[in-house]
Structure 1
């Protein structure tokens, strides 16, 4: 008989062994090194599927708070999902996901961010969301950026070991970000979660102006003899847009990278403008999102809405009416009913292809879409 439950300390050790067997090879650091918070029962709420005392499956689950302007959004992130090869095809992954979704709502989160897009998730109301411009910064573009007048005003260099407080101050200045303490920021940078999965290493760079740190960038670059599974890419950044672009260019040239990929979120308008001449591709945010409690989410995001349109922001309500179907309500307007993917796109994706009446479109245009921080940054699960 199988049993699904939150792992205790001893059971987490079995989960680490399973995850290392599934996700790691001899060249990579163990999963618990790359994801120290996820594989700790102190922070995580991770689930396992057991047959007796034997662990057959693992769902890594970790809480976080997203800052969107004045709003604080309670979320969980789901990743490191794995099933013992001998136990696949028995529905354990779906059963664990059902338990995770119930737990997320009961634990007080409004959203579940899922590192996965396969049908296991999309069938279970986890929907694609957001928009990212993947900038492809090659050597020629990098040299052009560094030769610009804007770039010349910065001193670009590697971070010094004692500068965590300064970098954290810059990170905290972002309107949209994961809530991170100084310890979180330093620990996640050192852990190299996403980079460790693709055999790259973090490099932390800073831009100074008049002796003051004005920007930083964490980039994942090759190191030693490791053969990476993907091109180098930017992990996380903050600060003045021209300084950030200069740091990307500096990283490209300094590490002799053919192309540095920079996944810029749709709401980072200033950085997109600085990099608008660099070749790019468009895609959606990494993974999917499940709305665990829409009523709670509306109340959590309302301070952000009030900033942009106090009248509509105070009155808009959204309710779940049936499984993955929602109603939006505003005084003097007919009720708007949307399926889950439609609502998710309307909430989080710019230029979403959702047919709205002129009245609804006019009412919502200052409130939506809502920006969310990148799920491929330091808080990657």
Structure 2
């Protein structure tokens, strides 16, 4: 008989051991380092399945997060590092853990769960793809045609830049709320670079008056300039890397679009990349325009992972749309007794049949939920969830 309960602080090392056994197939052990919000002691939110002898055999990491979107703050939890010991799979333990995490999040006042995955375990329980992101890909040929403005000193991040970088991260209309300490912790964790089996590098565009922009990169390990102070020293698989295209990616960026573009170009040159990809949320139109005008290839993708609405009342209240509490009385949403919804506008009332349509209406600027009515709707902006903040 399994005991499903919260994982205590003193049991977190066992959670790290289990996660590394499942995820670290190459032998490198990095889960404890890369996901400190899941595995460091503190207020425990994660859940586990324990045998009668007390052995942790299944784990589901749960972390509280708040997201600023315009004038609203969305309270949520993120789920990650979900793993089960091979000898205990097939017992539906992850499904039980998911239900416990869901109830925990509801009791805490969260509106949604962000899940770093799209397995049937989650989609069967109601999680769904959400939002809209642009992915810009810049080739070395294109970036070689860019003219430098010489307005900035492009250099690696220095410790004295920390206040400026934190301030830049808070500027986008939608961003994950992180304290200065949390941001430093996530930078040090290098989660996405490890997941990519690459190295993390950070460049800033500096001026005498401060930092105009910064960008965090995930870069293939070989050919990296050993003198670059931002190079990560952790072991990285470079099997056959010499014969493969050198493709890098932008983990996070913020600041003036023209300065960000120069950082991207410098990364391609400095790290001898064949191409660089970057995500641009739909609401960041100046950056999108800058990338397109610079010759980047742009395609539409979904936001990272999936989202599960766990408390629609809290979601509509926190986004300022709940009938009776809406900040804009011209646009309100009512929750019906059958758990469907009604959008109320000056043009009339419109049905929203289920959570999937509600999620699309709220977070996708190109939603088809009301396409037949041709109604304008104030889409709620979200940051990219597979960036610096990745659970």
TM-score (norm 1): 0.90
The answer as to 2:369 corresponding to 1:354 is: yes
Q: Deviations over 1:251-274 (max 9, x none)?
A: 111111111111211111111101
Structure 1: distance between partners of 2:383 and 2:178: 12
Of residues 241, 256, 280 in structure 2, which corresponds to 1:264? 280
The corresponding residue for 1:4 is 4
Q: CA deviation at 1:140?
A: 1.4
Q: How does 1:166-177 map to 2 (within 5 A)?
A: 166-177=164-175
Distance 1:164 1:33 in 2: 21
Between the aligned partners of 1:334 and 1:346, the Cα distance in structure 2 is 14
In structure 2, the partner of 1:200 is 198
Contact 1:74 1:110 in 2 (8 A): yes
Contact 2:136 2:277 (8 Å CA) reproduced? yes
- Structure 1 distance, partners of 2:131, 2:219, is 26
Write out per-residue CA displacement over residues 64-113 of structure 1, whole angstroms, 9 at most, x where no aligned residue: 11011111111100011111111111111111111111111111111110
Query: CA 1:379–1:321 in structure 2 vs 1: closer, same or farther (change >3 Å)?
Result: farther
Does the residue aligned with 2:259 lie in a helix, a strand or coil? helix
Kept after mapping to 2: 8 A contact 1:201/1:221: yes
Matched, 1:251 2:293: no
CA distance in 1, matches of 2:119, 2:145: 40
Paired residues for 1:25-40 under 5 Å: 25=25, 28-40=28-40
Q: What is the match of residue 290 of structure 1?
A: 308
Partner of 1:15: 15
> Normalised by the size of structure 2, how large is the TM-score?
0.87
What 5-or-longer segments of structure 2 have no aligned partner? 223-234, 240-245
Q: Matches of 1:184 and 1:217 in 2, distance apart?
A: 17
Deviation at 1:199, TM superposition (A): 1.5
CA distance 1:321–1:144, shift in 2 (3 Å): farther
Q: Residue 57 of structure 1 aligns with which residue? A: 58
Q: Indicate if the aligned counterparts of 2:62 and 2:77 stay in contact, CA closer than 8 A.
A: yes
Give the secondary structure class of the aligned counterpart of 1:62.
strand
Report whether the alignment pairs 1:76 with 2:86.
no
CA contact (8 A) 2:154 2:205 kept: yes
Residues 199 and 236 in structure 2, CA contact (< 8 A), matched pair in contact too: no
| Paired residue secondary structure (2:279) | strand
> Matched residues in 2 for 1:111 and 1:121: separation?
13
Between the two proteins, the alignment pairs up a number of residues equal to 367
Deviations along 1:140-178, one digit per CA (max 9) or x if unpaired, are 122223x15xx4322211111221011111222222101
Say which SS state the counterpart of residue 96 (structure 1) adopts: helix
Of the structure 1 ranges 84-93 and 347-356, higher mean CA displacement relative to structure 2 is found in 347-356
Query: The residue matched to 2:36 in structure 1 has which SS?
Result: coil
RMSD across aligned C-alpha pairs, in angstroms?
2.4
Looking at structure 1, the residues matched to 336 and 119 of structure 2 have their Cα atoms a distance apart, in angstroms, of: 24
In 1, Cα distance between equivalents of 2:173 and 2:280: 15
Distance 2:247 2:82 in 1: 24
Aligned counterparts of 1:281 and 1:128: Cα–Cα separation in 2: 17
Pair 1:301–1:30, CA change in 2 (3 A): same
Residues 1-381 of structure 1: pairs in structure 2 closer than 5 A: 1-25=1-25, 28-52=28-52, 53-145=54-146, 147=147, 151-223=149-221, 226-227=236-237, 231-276=247-292, 277-302=295-320, 310-313=328-331, 316-319=332-335, 321-322=337-338, 325-330=339-344, 333-334=348-349, 336-355=351-370, 358=373, 361-362=374-375, 365-367=376-378, 369-381=379-391
Tell me, yes or no, if the aligned pair for 2:330 and 2:345 is still in contact at 8 Å: no
Find the aligned partners of 2:164 and 2:153 in 1 and give their Cα distance.
15
Provide the C-alpha distance between the structure 1 equivalents of 2:377 and 2:298, rounded to a whole number of angstroms.
27
Aligned equivalents of 1:125 and 1:320: distance in 2? 18
For the residues of structure 2 that align with 1:204 and 1:337, how far apart are their CA atoms?
A: 44
Question: Once the two structures are superposed, what CA deviation does each residue of 1:30-71 show, in whole Å capped at 9, x if it has no partner?
Answer: 211001111124154111011211211110110011011111
CA shift digits 1:228-271 (9 cap, x unpaired): 69942111111111111111111111111111111211111111
